[in-house]
Amino acid sequence: MASFIIQGGKPLSGVHRAAGNKNAVLPMLAASVLTDATVKLTNVPLIQDVYTMLELLAALGVAVEQKGHTVTLCARGVRRRKLDPVLCSRVRSSILFAGPMAARHGHVTLYPPGGDVIGRRRLDTHVEGLRQLGIAAESVGDFSFRCRKLKPARILLDEASVTATENVVMAAVLAPGHSTLFNAACEPHVQDLCHLLCKMGARISGIGTNYLQIDGVERLGGATHRVQPDTVDAASFLAAAAATGGALTIEDLPAEQFDVISRPFQKLGLNWRVRERVLTLPAAQRLRVRDDFGAAIPKVEDGIWPAFPSDLMSVVLVLATQARGTMLFFEKLFESRMYFVDRLIAMGARIVQCDPHRVIVSGPARLHGIHMSSPDIRAGMALLIAALCAKGESVIDNAEIIDRGYERIETQLRKLGADIVRRG
């Protein structure tokens, strides 16, 4: 098990380039099994979840070639229909093989997906949506998805699940006839997957809305596609620089998406400038909570797009510990997302956890370093930010969890002036 050792108190300053979107590239990798032609992805983030997905693909018989941030895939040689149980347990995205494998190859057996332990993450929406397309599912220890003949369907998802939407869309593009998908997730990474599928020959309309219309095609071809930049990555580094009082320039910013997620940062008093996909954050800003109308305590709550994303709740919460004032955080999507705050309290943060979903933060708090562990990817990044602005030394175990979502995180932070080393 690897650990990060951080000496806090050093402002982060410099230039950071946003990585490729983690949540976009993972379903794109699974989509490569929909065709015998070559799929080439550029701007691929070099993170552990990507490496695990590539291992799963290679084990199925997909030809995988990686050169830097470019991955080339050809599924002409797919010979297996069973995924490796150990690899499945490492990533949540292993479930994304259900739709495309069953639709294109008739059958797939996979195992309970892993990923972050942030609450129950049900699969019923996947199963019901795929069933309406003619894909039957069974669960007896493993998960078996079989399809004799795809059929078009009018599907109403019982929740706007991102991965369920992706699974259903990847199957529906090969179902003959016209399918409609109501209550679809419309997050930017879902849109990016749809754009790749359209490049491969799929016929999808309504991209960016919660109502998708899909006209199935007999076969898909190859494509070359650049993975969009990751808003969560960019915002995480913005929070790290702001919490430490540094100045930061973020290149290749997904500016339109950033507009959607920027409000909680602005409520904490942050100001920046964006020009031609470059964000500039001045140094030494005074963090102060801006009250809601009528001097009410402001609230940050997450939700489905275009609401504030759950993946950023943890890092903004840490930033709030360094701002003067009080703020309520309401995590609506996952009942275990907020359990990492006990580490922040041990570091000196002034936090009241009201229940599994609500946390009150009062700042500013002078944090001090402690020995702790990372419970999930986003909490791990939040704890790194806390350690960077804390006094003294912090040790964060379970560094591999952070590696699943952030590329060479210690190297990037050192480039910005952080005192951080990896041990083990």
Catalytic site positions: 116
Residue 125's Cβ-count burial label (10 Å; 0-12, 13-18, 19+) is: buried
Q: Is residue 169 within 8 Å of 200, Cβ to Cβ?
A: no
β-strands 178-182, 154-156 pairing: parallel
Rg of the chain over CA atoms, in angstroms? 22
Binning the chain into helix, strand and coil, the percentages to the nearest 5 are 35, 25, 35
Please say whether the beta carbons of 13 and 417 come within 8 A.
Answer: yes
Can you list the alpha helix ranges (DSSP code H) found in 143-294?
Answer: 162-172, 188-199, 231-244, 255-261, 263-267
Closest CA relative to residue 78, chosen from 101, 48, 95, 99 = 101
CA-based nearest residue to 403, from 377, 371, 373: 377
* Burial category of 68 from C-beta neighbours within 10 Å (exposed 0-12, middle 13-18, buried 19 and up): exposed
State how far the Cα of 96 lies from the Cα of 92, in Å rounded to an integer.
8
